Amino acid sequence: MKNFYYHIPTEVFFGKGQIENLAPKIGDYSKKVLLVYGGGSIKRTGLYEKVIEKLVSHGIAVFELGGVEPNPRIDTVRRGVKLCKSHEIGAVLSVGGGSTTDCAKLVAAGALYDGDPWELVLDNGKIKEALPIFTVVTIAATGSEMDRLAVISNMDTNEKLAVFSPYFHPKVSILDPEYTYTVPKIQTAAGTADIMSHVIERYFNPYEGAYLQNRIGDGLLKTCIHFGPIACEEPNNYDARANLLWTSTLAIDGVTWRGNEVGSSAHPMEHELSAYYDITHGIGLAILIPHWMRYILSEQTKPRFVEYAVNVWGVDSALPDDEIAKAGIERTHAFFESLGIPMRLSDLDIDETHFDEMAEKAEKRTKFSYVPLSKEDVKSIFKAAL
Ligand code: NZQ
Ligand code: ZN
C-alpha cells in the first residue's frame, strides 16, 4: 500500500429531518448566504420554500443564484461571484446535485479572488481561500458534497475541466434520502453508473498490497447493483435511496483509492463528450466503461478482471480465467443497459466529427491511468462505443 494523506473536514448530517441542522451551522459563519440551485426541481418539490423558511427564520439573508445547468458553466459561476462580491455574502449554499455544488464551489473561491474565475479552473494553485460551502443533496451521483473536486464547463471553448482544491470540501452537507425520491428514472440510472464508475476506475490498479480498498469497493459496487434497480422502479423506497446516497458520497472521497491511486480513465474521456455534446455525465460513463474494460483486458490485467468478476458479480470462480474476466465485463454492460441507459454514442447523436480533438485533450489525463491510454487508444474506445 502506498503512503497517503486522508482528511475529510466535512460534517455530514444523514437522514430524515436533518435539514434542521442547516441554518444554525450556516449562521455560525455568516448572516448572508448565496443559495445556489439548478433548473427548478427544488421549486417543484417544495425544498426551495423549506430551505428559505429555515434560513430566514434563523436571521440569515438569502441571495439567489438559480438556473445552474447540468454540466455547470463558467458564465453562471461569474454571475454568482458578482452577487457575492456586490452584496458581501459570507457563505454559499448549494441545494441540488453535483452540478449545483460544483458551481457553488467555484463561486465560493471566485468570491475571494480578484481575477476571472476561469483562471482558477485553469490553475488551481491560484485558489488560496474560499467562502464556506454548504450543501443539501438532492441526487445520489457525484459525491461532490464531501469531496474537493469541481467540474466546470466553458462551452465557448468546448472545455470541461476538473479542478481540485482543499478549500472545496463543504463545511456541512445535509443528506436526506427523501429529497432524492423525485429524481427521474434516467437520472437515477445515470447517478448509479457514475457512482460505480468512481469505484471501478480505481479498482483496476497495479497495487497488490492495497487489499482493503478493493474490498470496500466490492461493497460499494454491490450496493449499487442491489439498490440501483430498486430505486429506478420504486422511487420512494427509502432504503434504496439511502444506500445509494451514502454510497455516492463514499465512492469518491478516497476511501477506495487512497493507498492505491491511479489516474482515472473513463472520466477524462466522458468529460470530453460532455464538453462537446452536453450529455449527462453518468450516461456517457455507462457507455464508455465496458468498452474501456474490453480495450484494457490483457494477460497482465486479467487477474484484476477475475477479482472484479468473482467478487462483484458472483461469476463462478471455477471457470477458466478468460471466461471469468469477460463475463465480468459483459455483466457490467448488461447491468447499465437494464437500468434503461442508451448504450451507444450514436444513441446520443454523437458521431466521429470531434473524436480527434476530444481524444487529444483526454490523453492529457488518460496517460496516467492504470493502463495508460494514448490519443489513438482513446479514439479506438470512442469508435468502439459508437
Ligand atoms: O437542475 P435541476 O432542476 O435541479 O434538475 C436536475 C438536473 O436536471 C435533476 N435533479 C437533481 N435532483 C433532483 C432532480 N430532479 C428531480 N428531483 C431531484 N431531487 O437531475 C439533473 C442532473 O443534475 P446534476 O446536478 O447535473 O447531476 P449530477 O449530480 O450527476 O452532477 C453532474 C455534474 O457533476 C460533475 C459531472 O461532470 C457533471 O458536470 N461531476 C462532479 C464530480 C465532483 N464534484 O466530485 C465528480 C463526478 O465525476 C462528475 O464529473
Ligand atoms: Zn463521475
Q: Enumerate helices (H) and strands (E) in the chain, giving the number of each.
A: 15, 8
The number of the ligand nearest the C-alpha atom of 139 reads 1
Q: Supply the pLDDT for residue 368.
A: 94
- Which residue has the least CA distance to atom 28 on ligand 1? 98
Between the alpha carbon of residue 386 and those of residues 269, 272, 381, 382, the distances in Å are: 14, 15, 9, 6
Distance CA 373, CA 369 (A): 7
Q: Which residues line ligand 1 (CB under 6 A)?
A: 38-41, 45, 70-71, 96-100, 102, 138-139, 141-144, 147, 149-151, 179-180, 182-183, 187, 191, 194, 252, 267, 281-282
Are residues 361 and 272 part of one domain? yes
Specify burial of residue 261 (Cβ count, 10 A radius: 0-12, 13-18, 19+): middle
* C-alpha of residue 62 to centroid of ligand 2, in Å: 30
Q: Which residues surround the ion ligand 2 when the cut-off is CB under 5 Å?
A: 194
* C-alpha of residue 326 to centroid of ligand 1, in Å: 31
* C-alpha of residue 385 to centroid of ligand 1, in Å: 23
Q: Is residue 351 in some structural domain? A: yes
Are residues 231 and 97 part of one domain? no
Which residues, including other chains, have CB under 8 Å from residue 82's CB and lie 6 or more apart? none
Q: Residue 102 belongs to a domain with what CATH number?
A: 3.40.50.1970
Identity of the residue numbered 32 = K
Task: State the closest ligand 1 atom to the C-alpha of 71, by its place in the atom list counted from 1.
Answer: 39
* C-alpha of residue 269 to centroid of ligand 2, in Å: 11
* C-alpha of residue 24 to centroid of ligand 1, in Å: 26
Are residues 145 and 199 part of one domain? no
Q: Is residue 1 in some structural domain? A: no
Taking each helix axis as running N to C, give the angle between helix 238-252 and helix 211-233, from 0 to 180 degrees, rounded to the nearest 10: 150
Residue owning grid cell 463475463:
327
* C-alpha of residue 281 to centroid of ligand 2, in Å: 7
Q: Is residue 341 in some structural domain? A: yes
Q: What is the pLDDT along the chain (386 residues), one digit of tens a residue?
A: 999 999 999 999 999 999 999 999 999 999 999 999 999 999 999 999 999 999 999 999 999 999 999 999 999 999 999 999 999 999 999 999 999 999 999 999 999 999 999 999 999 999 999 999 999 999 999 999 999 999 999 989 999 999 999 999 999 999 999 999 999 999 999 999 999 999 999 999 999 999 999 999 999 999 999 999 999 999 999 999 999 999 999 999 999 999 999 999 999 999 999 999 999 999 999 999 999 999 999 999 999 999 999 999 999 999 999 999 999 999 999 999 999 999 999 999 999 999 999 999 999 999 999 999 999 999 999 999 99
The number of the ligand nearest the C-alpha atom of 183 reads 1
Are residues 189 and 157 part of one domain? no
The number of the ligand nearest the C-alpha atom of 288 reads 2
Distance CA 124, CA 122 (A): 7
Are residues 192 and 152 part of one domain? no
From 175, 187, 250, give the residue whose CB has the most ligand 1 atoms within 8 Å, as the site to mutate. 187
Are residues 301 and 370 part of one domain? yes
- Which residue has the least CA distance to atom 25 on ligand 1? 97
Of 179, 198, 230, which residue constitutes the final position of a domain? Answer: 179
Q: Supply the pLDDT for residue 373.
A: 98
Are residues 259 and 170 part of one domain? no
The number of the ligand nearest the C-alpha atom of 44 reads 1
Between the alpha carbon of residue 354 and those of residues 23, 274, 286, 342, 361, the distances in Å are: 46, 12, 20, 20, 11
- Given phi > 0 = left and psi -120 to 50 = alpha, else beta, which region is 176? beta
Q: Is residue 6 in some structural domain? A: no
Q: Is residue 3 in some structural domain? A: no
Q: Give the total number of structural domains in the chain.
A: 2
Specify burial of residue 98 (Cβ count, 10 A radius: 0-12, 13-18, 19+): buried
Range of the domain at 158: 11-179
Are residues 355 and 281 part of one domain? yes
Task: State the closest ligand 1 atom to the C-alpha of 101, by its place in the atom list counted from 1.
Answer: 44
- Which residue has the least CA distance to atom 49 on ligand 1? 142
Distance CA 131, CA 96 (A): 18
Q: Supply the pLDDT for residue 262.
A: 94
From 76, 99, 185, 202, give the residue whose CB has the most ligand 1 atoms within 8 Å, as the site to mutate. 99
Provide the whole-model pTM. Answer: 0.98
Of 179, 194, 210, which residue constitutes the final position of a domain? Answer: 179
Q: Where are the beta strands (DSSP E) in the chain?
A: 11-14, 32-37, 61-65, 91-96, 133-137, 149-154, 159-164, 172-175
Are residues 274 and 228 part of one domain? yes
Are residues 129 and 89 part of one domain? yes
Q: Residue 350 belongs to a domain with what CATH number?
A: 1.20.1090.10
Are residues 190 and 143 part of one domain? no
Q: Is residue 4 in some structural domain? A: no
Q: Supply the pLDDT for residue 367.
A: 96
Do residues 190 and 224 touch, judged by C-beta distance below 8 A?
A: no
Q: Supply the pLDDT for residue 297.
A: 98
Task: State the closest ligand 1 atom to the C-alpha of 139, by its place in the atom list counted from 1.
Answer: 12
